Every structure is written in structure tokens, then in C-alpha cells.
Amino acid sequence: MDGRSGSRVTRRGYLGLLGAVGLAGCSASDGERAGSEPTVTAAPLPESTPTPRDRRVAGSNSAAARSLDAPWYERTATTTLSPTGLTVAFHPRPTDVSSLVGGGRFVRPGTADGPARLVLELANTGESTVSIPHVPVPGRIVTPRGDARAFLLPVRPPDGGVGDGNERDRFWFDGYWRGRRRTGRERDLSIDPGELGSLGYVLVAGPEGPALPVGTYAFETRFGWTFTLGVWRTDAPGPADASRFAGADVPELPGDGATEWFHHADRNTAVYLHPSTEQVSLSDGAETLDAALFNHSSTTLVGNPLAYELLKLHEGTWYPVVPDQLPDPGGHLPPGATLQRRFVLRHDGPTDPDDVIPVGHLGGGRYALRFGMYRSDTPRRHAALVDVEAPELELSPSPELRVDGEDTARPVGWLDPDGGLFDAVVTATRTGEPADRTVVAEQVMHDPILRNTISVFGPTTEIVELHTRDAIADQLLPSRGTLRVSLRGAVYELVRQDD
């Protein structure tokens, strides 16, 4: 811990996001999206110099080998499902579990004459022969959360390979193609080291229930390889539900690029940030907020997949509340892919779960949630409004702060969660001088220096002296730096007094 009490990204959350969002790829063109004829778009196959790993794949001049040599986010494909007016995008997901690398291509769209066909093209980069069971691959919808299922049923690839000749007894058409998983062992595909292989599948919905509702479906094979399918309406890629803030006029968010608000989105909006709710009440404890950035455009989004901001609107100005500083691994969000984050919001201090982003110390008011992925040609940031019902936030010091002389004119605080390192000193006094900037209580409670000086002030306090680590002080003040902040009508001057 570094004294911060706001939000964080855990190791599990960080690694999960890297696996889920480094994804990017190609898609149907605008013309394909607008037309009514079923289409198939193959992944681009750029000519490039093979990496040392790819040089071990035989036939490096073939289209399949060139596709494996491309960045993994270019090994994607899209198609249409004309009976239901849907577009489907295939995205491989990087994994170190298997020696198999690969991509996919749709060789036939979904029509009333037959379901969409997907071919997985795999290269064995390991040291030994790999045997792959050609069995049904189940998928489940993960964004939005639900019970919908999809299946990839084995068929013979169009250019040869393993497959099942008795295909049509496993799927049928009732306005959309449905199928069932058949028991029993299918044939295996063996791929020698440095060789390529392919597996054919048809995409169907389950035998019962909804037929591929719009969303993102996750698939995991028995050979350690994972991928997702993004599904959206071809002629209406935007959100189906209207925002409760429709027509609301709010200031532009700070930073580079314009803001694309969810409450301005309609059925034609192809990229949007969708919150699970636009109003939460924190009066009785924690509330969960899921937010998903949908990319239903023909353009890959770029940026920081870990980045998010929660800002509070106060007297016509947005104030950033969280997050702490985040690493920026860089990432891609391809057409049809979704970036989803789960936040647990609290009025009091946050808990420390390992699979969500905890955000505590929130008072009532209007907030904006913004993600860090955007189009490279026009860096528009995507955001959504959320109203929080909660009492006004009261200031309090960090639990680990040790204070000598509390309720005196000159209290001294000691903030070092790791113990024993106090190489920075910051003093705080009230002043009548103009402030350098205004802060809100939520910002104070998420900054270890502001929180553990301003919250210590009592009726008779003249100066607060805080001893802490350089790394903590550096987050707000440089060495021997000075800052005056205004909070609730009072101005405080903070001075770093390092030796």
C-alpha cells in the first residue's frame, strides 16, 4: 500500500485485461455493413519478414503462413448472418498455454441455405507433434452477462482436413441455424512441429433459447486456444436501450479529444461506452457498476486498455477522482470486440477484491466514467454519465496515519505504511492567498498528502506537519514545491520541507 485509498488494478485484473483487450483486427467494410447481401471478409495477409518463431512454420510463402506472421490482431475475420441481420467478428486471443498459434477465416456467411462456416488455421511452433480433438466448441455470452450459448460444430474444411461427413443431422433451420452437441469422439488432427493444419466448423445457436443475442461470446478449445466472437446488428449497431440522460447538456471532459457520450448514442452509433446502470445508491453499502466499451465499427480502436477515469461534476467543472497512475501496455480493440470493466462503488473506504476495481469515498453527485480506447484517426474518448446517491463526503485521515499532538495547534503526522522511511516533510496551513486550484472532497480522500493534512485540521489547528516517503510526496509536490488548494471555501497552502 502507498497510502492511497481509492482504486487500483490487481495483478489478476491487469493480466486478464491484457489477454482480453490486446485484441485488434479487421472487419467488414462500410459498404458491406450497409448492404443486404451476405458477405465474407478474410483477414488481411500482409507480406512481412517472418519472426524467428514463424520461420519454423513450413510453407512460409503460403497465405496461411503469412497470416500467422502478421500481428495477431490482424488475424481476424468478419461475416454476416443474413437470416437475422447480424454481423459476426472472430478474434483470436493470445495465450502462452499452447504451442499452437493461428487465426481464423469465414469461408461462407450464414444464409437460409446453411450456417456460417469458420476455418481455424493453426501452426505448431512446439517441439513435438500436437494432436487436436476436432470436437464441438461451446461458447457463452460474456458481454452483456447472460445465459445465451453458441456452438461451433465440426465440419470438414473446404480445402481438406479432418471433418465429419454426417453434418446436417446435427443442425437445422427455424429462422436461424441451431444445433446440438453430439456425444462421441470426433477425428483428431495431428500437426507436426513447424507445420500448419486447419479445422472446420459451423456457427449455430443452441437447440433452445435465444438465437445469438447481440454481445461478445467467449470460446475455449480443448487444445488450450481461446477466441471470441462479437455479434451485433448490421443495420443498427448502437445500443437498444435509451439513456436516462437523453438530452442532458454537460460540459466537455478535460483532456485531448472530444467526448462521445453514451446518452448521445442512438441505434446508428457504432462505438459507445455502455454502463449497466446510470444511477446507483450508496446509502446502504456497496453497488456494482459494469461498463462495456462496444466496438461495432469497421475500425480498430487503440489506446490504453487499462485506462479509465471517474470524474465528478461540481459547479460546472469536472474534477478527476480516480484512478491512481496506471501502466500503459498499449492495446487494440478490433471490430466486434468489447472491453468490459467491473467497479464496486462505496461511500466509505473500499474493500480489496481481486477481480474488480474498488472505488471508495464517493459522495453524492453526478459523475462521468471514461475509458482509454479510441480511434487513432479521431481521438474521441468514450464516456457515460452516472448519478450517485450518497451523503456528502466527510474527510478523515488514512487508517495507517499516526498522529502526535492531535487536536493541538501543531499536530504531526507519520505516514509510511512500510514503516521507518520518513524522508519527506509536507506542512499545511490555512491562508488567505488565492488558490492555485480547487479540489473536491473526493479528490482529497484519494490523495494521500491532501487527505492526511487537510483532514487533520481542527478548530485550533494552525499548522499540520506530515512526515512520509518521497514517493508519496512526489505524487503531489516536487521537492520544495508549494501548492494552494481551495476546498469548501477554505484555502490551504501545502509546502514540501525536505532537507
The answer to whether residue 289 scores a pLDDT higher than 80 is yes
Instruction: Go through 150-187 and write b for each residue having 16 or more CB atoms within 10 A of its CB, e for each that does not.
Output: bbbbbbbbeeebbbbeebeebbeeeebbbbbeeeeebe
Residue 103 pLDDT grade (very low, low, confident, very high; cuts 50, 70, 90) = confident
Please give the Cα distance from 278 to 384 (Å, whole number): 8
For residue 295, pLDDT over 80 is answered with yes
Task: Say what the pLDDT of residue 122 is.
Answer: 84
Confidence tier at 290 by pLDDT (50, 70, 90) = very high
Can you tell me the mean pLDDT for 333-345? 89
Instruction: Give the pLDDT band of residue 163 (cuts 50, 70, 90).
Output: very low
Radius of gyration of the chain (CA): 27
The predicted structure's pLDDT at residue 7: 42
Q: Is the pLDDT of residue 47 over 70?
A: no
In order of 4, 139, 423, 452, 453, the CA distances from 472 in angstroms are 9, 45, 10, 11, 13
**DSSP one-letter code for 394:** P
Can you state the percent helix, strand and coil of the chain, rounding each to 5?
A: 10, 40, 50
Residue that wins the pLDDT comparison between 183 and 274: 274
What is the pLDDT, as a whole number, of residue 455? Answer: 96
Average pLDDT over residues 246-253: 94
Question: 70: pLDDT confidence band, cut at 50, 70 and 90?
Answer: low
pLDDT value, residue 169: 63
SS3 for 330-348, per residue? CEEECCCCEEEEEEEECCC
Mean pLDDT of all residues in 311-336: 87
At 180 the pLDDT is: 79
* pLDDT of 11 higher than 50: no
The mean pLDDT of the chain is 81
| 21: phi then psi, degrees, rounded to nearest 5 | -115, -15
> Which amino acid does the sequence have at 486?
S
Mean pLDDT computed over 345-370: 90
User: pLDDT band for position 95 (50/70/90)?
Assistant: low
Domain 259-389 has CATH 3.40.50.300: no
pLDDT confidence tier of residue 184, bands split at 50, 70 and 90 = low
Q: How confident is the model at residue 52, as a pLDDT?
A: 30
Alpha carbons 227 and 216: distance in angstroms, whole number? 10
pLDDT of residue 420: 63
| Long-range contacts, stretch 159-163, CB < 8 angstroms, 24+ apart | 159/198, 161/189, 161/197, 161/198, 161/199, 161/200, 162/134, 162/186, 162/187, 162/188, 162/189, 162/199, 163/134, 163/187, 163/200
Q: Residue with C-alpha cell 436501450?
A: 241
* Range list for CATH 2.60.40.2550 in the chain: 259-389
Indicate the DSSP class of residue 395. P
Mean pLDDT for the stretch of residues 342-352: 89
Asked if 212 contacts 116 with a C-beta cutoff of 8 angstroms, the reply is no
Angle at 243 between CA 237 and CA 247, to 5 degrees: 110
Q: Cell numbers of 370, please?
A: 471514461
User: How many residues are given for the chain?
Assistant: 499
Among the residue ranges 133-142, 349-358, 359-368, 435-444, the one predicted with the least confidence is 349-358
Q: Would you state the pLDDT for residue 379?
A: 73
Using pLDDT thresholds of 50, 70 and 90, give the confidence band for residue 5: very low
Query: Residues 6 or more apart from 271 whose CB is under 8 A from it?
Result: 260, 293, 294, 295, 296, 297, 301, 375, 382
Q: Has this prediction a pTM greater than 0.85?
A: no
Question: Is 389 a residue whose pLDDT tops 70?
Answer: yes
Please report the pLDDT score of residue 73 as a whole number: 56
Q: Does residue 367 have a pLDDT over 80?
A: yes
Confidence at residue 447, expressed as pLDDT on a 0 to 100 scale: 95
**Residue 316: pLDDT over 80:** yes
pLDDT tens digits, 406-459: 888 999 999 876 666 688 999 999 999 999 999 999 999 999 999 999 999 999
The closest of 222, 194, 196 to 120, measured between CA atoms, is 196
In this structure, are residues 102 and 117 in contact, taking their beta carbons and an 8 Å threshold? no
β-pair partners for 86: 81, 233
Taking only the tens place, the pLDDT of each residue in 193-221 is: 988 888 899 999 988 877 888 888 999 88
- Using CA atoms, how far residue 173 sits from 152, 182, 201, in Å, is 15, 17, 16
Residue 280 pLDDT more than 90? yes
Q: Regarding predicted confidence, which is higher, 160 or 411?
A: 411
User: Within 10 A of 109 (CB to CB), how many other CB atoms are there?
Assistant: 21
How many CB atoms are located within 10 Å of the residue 412 CB? 18
Which residues lie across from 464 on neighbouring strands?
428
Query: Residue 334: CA atoms inside 13 Å, Cβ hemisphere, count?
Result: 29
Answer whether residue 370 shows pLDDT above 90.
Answer: yes
CA 288 to chain centroid: 16
3-class DSSP assignment, residue 288: strand
